[in-house]
Amino acid sequence: MPDQKIKDAVDVLKKQGVIVCPSESCYSLTCDARSKKAIEKIHTIKKEPKNKPLTLAVSNINQIKDFGKITKKIKKIAEQIFPAQLNLIIKENNPNKYPFLSKKGISFRVPKCDVLFALSEKLGAPIVTTSANIHGQPPIYNIKEIRELFEDKVDYILPQGNLNQDVPTSTIYDTRNNKIVRQGIINIKEIKKALNQNG
């Protein structure tokens, strides 16, 4: 992805805009996770409940400290597994500061997707990443469909052609009760192995 396109996208994020960009699998609706205005716009675009939890992407786990509690366990998983298609649910840190995110925990990952990683890194903050589709509809991988559905609804589209539909889904792991919420490419054995590493 050209640096200029990343820069242009980050400029939109800084202005509380919503963009469409590629993720590890499908296209993603993305915004600055600190922006209530942008998050509400994403919910409106997707026609989904305003309280639906969203996942955050960060370029390093220090970016999540203002949102959720980083324990030794979470650091271990991060050091051993990230970047990966693994979303960790952690206890929220500032539910009163970010009530528009979730009061049921914060879900985040350090993404394998270079575009999401670069956006978070250049912004210097977590970004929201959620599938670019209407609530209840399948994810979208085709750039033509993305343009037809979202061109007049979002502030910027970061295209990467047609994406690979065969990429496995991300695993969601709740660190608060040590349970897999959604089984994906990372399995519980890999998580337990990371937790058992010395250091």
Backbone dihedral angles phi then psi of residue 120, each to the nearest 5 degrees:
-65, -40
**Which residues does 47 contact at the CB level (< 8 Å), separation at least 6?**
134, 135
Q: What is the pLDDT of residue 101?
A: 82
Going 189 to 165 to 46 to 14, the CA torsion angle's sign is positive
- pLDDT (tens digit per residue) in 39-50: 999 999 999 999
Q: For the chain, which residues make up each domain, given as ranges?
A: 3-195
The DSSP letter of residue 92 is B
User: pLDDT exceeding 70 applies to what percent of the chain?
Assistant: 99
Cβ atoms 81, 20 nearer than 8 A: no
Q: pTM for the full model? A: 0.94
- pLDDT (tens digit per residue) in 80-133: 999 999 999 999 988 888 888 877 899 999 999 999 999 999 999 999 999 999
Segment 141-147 shows an average pLDDT of 98
Partners of residue 182 on adjacent β-strands: 172
**Fold classified for 3-195:** DHBP synthase (3.90.870)
DSSP string across 50-104: TT---EEE-SSGGGGTTTB---HHHHHHHHHH-SSSEEEEE-BS-TTT-TTT-SS
